[in-house]
Structure 1
Amino acid sequence: MSLDVNISEPEEFSCQELHTSIEQAALIKGIKDFKYHVDTLSGKGDNYIANLFRVTIKDTEDETNSVNVIVKTLINTARQETFNELHKREVSVYKKVLPMFKRIQEVITNDDKVIFPDCLLSSTEDEQEILILEDMQDKGFVMSDKVAKFESLTFNEVESILKELAKFHALSLICEIKEPEEFKKLQKKFKDLMFDNRFLNKSNLRKYFVDSYEMSLKVIEDMELKKLLEQIGTRLIDLLRLFTSPKKFNVLCHGDCWVNNVLFKKTESGDQLCFLDFQALRNASPATDVLHFLFLCTNSNFRSQHLENLLDAYYESFQAFSNLFNVDASLIYPQEDFYRDIRESLPFGFLIAFIELRIVTCTAEDIDFMRGSSFSMNTLVSPSGNELFKIRIKDVVRESSNNGALKKLIDEINRFSYY
Structure 2
Amino acid sequence: MSLDVNISEPDEFNCTELHSCIENVAKLNNINDFTYHVEFACGKGENFIANVFRVEIKDTLDCDRKISVIIKTLVNTTRQELFRQLHKREVKAYEEVLSKFEILQSKLDVTNRIVLPGCILSDMKRGNEVLILEDLVSKGYEYETKVNKLKNLEYEQVCLVLRNLAKFHALSIVFELNDKENFIKLKCEFKDVLYQETFLDKSKLRNYYTNCYEDSIQLLDDLEARTKLQYVETKLMQLLRYYTSPRTFNVLCHGDCWINNFLFKQKDNITTDLCFLDFQAMRYSNPATDLVYFLFLSTDSTFRCKYMKDILSVYYESFTTFLKLYDIDSNSVYTKDSFEVDVQEMLPFGVLITLIELRIVTTFEDKEISESTLHLDQCISNESNEEMLLKIRLDDVVKESVLNGTLDRLCEQMKLLN
Place the TM-score, normalised by the shorter chain, in its bin: over 0.9
Gaps of 5+ in 2: none
String of CA shifts for 1:89-141, please: whole Å, max 9, x gaps: 11111111011101111111111111111111111122211111111122211
* 2:36–2:56 Cα contact (<8 Å) kept: yes
**TM-score, normalised via structure 1 length:** 0.94
CA distance in 1, matches of 2:314, 2:158: 10
- 264 and 363 in structure 1: CA distance in 2 versus 1, 3 angstrom threshold: closer
Paired with 1:231 and 1:280, the residues of 2 have a C-alpha distance of 27
* Distance (Å, rounded) in 1 between the aligned partners of 2:3 and 2:112: 41
CA–CA distance in structure 1, aligned partners of residues 161 and 223 of structure 2: 37
Q: Give the aligned residue type for 1:409.
A: L
Q: Structure 1: how far apart are the matches of 2:375 and 2:41? A: 21
Task: After TM superposition, list the pairs within 5 Å mapping 1:22-37 onto structure 2.
Answer: 22-37=22-37
| 1:3-42 correspondence runs (5 A) | 3-42=3-42
Return the letter of the residue paired with 1:313: V
Write out aligned runs for 1:29-178 (5 A): 29-43=29-43, 46-178=46-178
Map of 1:293 onto structure 2? 294
Matched residue type, 1:212: C
Aligned position for 2:371: 377
C-alpha contact 1:193 1:199 (8 A) present in aligned 2:
yes
- Indicate the residue corresponding to 1:318 in structure 2: 319
Q: Distance in 2 between matches of 1:144 and 1:265?
A: 9
Give the residue type in structure 1 aligned to 2:374: L
Question: How far off its partner does 1:46 sit?
Answer: 2.5
**Matches for 1:265-276 after TM superposition, within 5 Å:** 265-267=265-267, 271-276=272-277
- Residue aligned with 1:80, SS: coil
Q: Whole-Å Cα distance in 2 between the matches of residues 73 and 210 of structure 1?
A: 27
Give the distance between the partners of 1:319 and 1:267, measured in 2 at CA. Answer: 27
Cα RMSD, aligned residues only: 1.6
Q: What is the match of residue 205 of structure 2?
A: 205
> Shift in Å at residue 270 of structure 1?
5.8
1:408 Cα deviation after fit: 1.5
Give distance in 2, aligned partners of 1:44 and 1:154.
27
Deviation at 1:44, TM superposition (A): 8.7
* 1:357–1:389 contact (8 Å) kept in structure 2: yes
8 Å Cα contact 1:86-1:280 kept in structure 2:
yes
Change (3 A) 1:263 1:364: closer
Question: What is the CA deviation profile of residues 137-181 of structure 1, one whole-angstrom value per residue up to 9, with x for unaligned ones?
Answer: 222111112133221101111111111101101001111112111
Cα distance 1:45–1:333, how it changes in 2: closer, same or farther (>3 A)?
farther
Contact 2:157 2:271 in 1 (8 A): no
* Deviation, structure 1 residue 28: 1.2
Shift in CA distance, 44/404, structure 1 to aligned 2, threshold 3 Å? farther
Distance in 2 between the 1:225 and 1:140 partners?
Answer: 44
| Distance change >3 Å, CA 381–CA 146, structure 1 → 2 | farther
Counterpart residue identity of residue 247, structure 1: R
Show the counterpart of 2:391.
390
Q: Tell me, what secondary structure is at the counterpart of 1:307?
A: helix
SS of structure 2 residue aligned to 1:81? coil
Question: 1:381 Cα deviation (Å)?
Answer: 5.5
Aligned partner of 2:179: which letter? E
Percent of residue pairs bearing the same amino acid type: 48
Residue 314 of structure 1: CA displacement?
0.4
Separation in structure 1 between the aligned mates of residue 275 and residue 311 of structure 2, nearest angstrom? 19
Amino acid at match of 1:183: F
Once the two structures are superposed, what CA deviation does each residue of 1:382-411 show, in whole Å capped at 9, x if it has no partner?
Answer: 465311111111111111112222111211
- What is the CA distance between 1:33 and its match in structure 2? 1.5
Query: Across the two proteins, how many residue pairs are aligned to each other?
Result: 410
Q: Structure 1 residues 398 and 280, CA, compared in 2 at 3 Å: closer, same or farther?
A: same
- 1:245 is aligned to 245
Deviations along 1:22-75, whole A, 9 cap, x unmatched? 101111111111111111222497222111111111112112221111111112
Matched residue type, 2:371: M
Give the superposition deviation at 1:378. Answer: 4.2
Partner in structure 1 of residue 222 of structure 2: 222
Q: Distance in 2 between matches of 1:52 and 1:409?
A: 36
Q: Which residue of 2 aligns with 1:408?
A: 409
Q: Does 1:343 align with 2:344?
A: yes
Q: 1:42 to 1:77 in 2, by over 3 A?
A: closer
SS of residue paired to 2:273: strand
Assess if the C-alpha contact under 8 Å between 1:56 and 1:69 holds in 2.
Answer: yes
Residues 43 and 148, structure 1, Cα contact 8 Å, conserved in 2: no
- Aligned AA for 1:74? L
SS of 1:63's equivalent in the other structure is coil
